[in-house]
Amino acid sequence: MQIDNSAALLAANTPKIASSLSKADDVKLKEQTDAFEAFLVKQVFDISLKKENTLFGKDAGDKIYQSMYNDTMSKSLSGGLGFSELLFNFLKENR
């Protein structure tokens, strides 16, 4: 009597392949979740840091500089607020 063990061998070798792919995928997924968190933080900054009644008059580049400031701050804060980590863990479990 001969036992077919090809399915067991295939299953034993599959996690090794999946783990080597998942490390690269995890890095890409982490980058994307950090970028999404940065986007959300920028939206919050854009809404909350509007300066409607300023003491000084507005100049031509005021909105541009404010947007650049909000973008820089949101990128520096991304990954540190916890939302990115929460989303990363959720998406990693559901792959």
**Which residues span the domain enclosing 89?**
6-93
Position with higher pLDDT, 88 vs 59: 88
Q: Report yes or no on 39 lying in a domain.
A: yes
Q: Report yes or no on 1 lying in a domain.
A: no
Among residues 47, 41, 42, which one has the least CA distance to residue 83? 41
Structurally, the chain folds into a number of domains equal to 1
Residues, the chain: 95
- The answer to whether 87 touches 36, Cβ cutoff 8 Å, is yes
Residue 10 identity: L
pLDDT of 29 above 50: yes
* The residue to which tokens 């003491």 are assigned: 55
- Give pLDDT tens digits for 32-55: 999 999 999 999 988 888 776 565
Q: Report yes or no on 87 lying in a domain.
A: yes
pTM for the model stands at 0.65
- The answer to whether 5 touches 52, Cβ cutoff 8 Å, is no
**pLDDT band (50, 70, 90) for residue 31:** very high
- The answer to whether 31 touches 88, Cβ cutoff 8 Å, is no
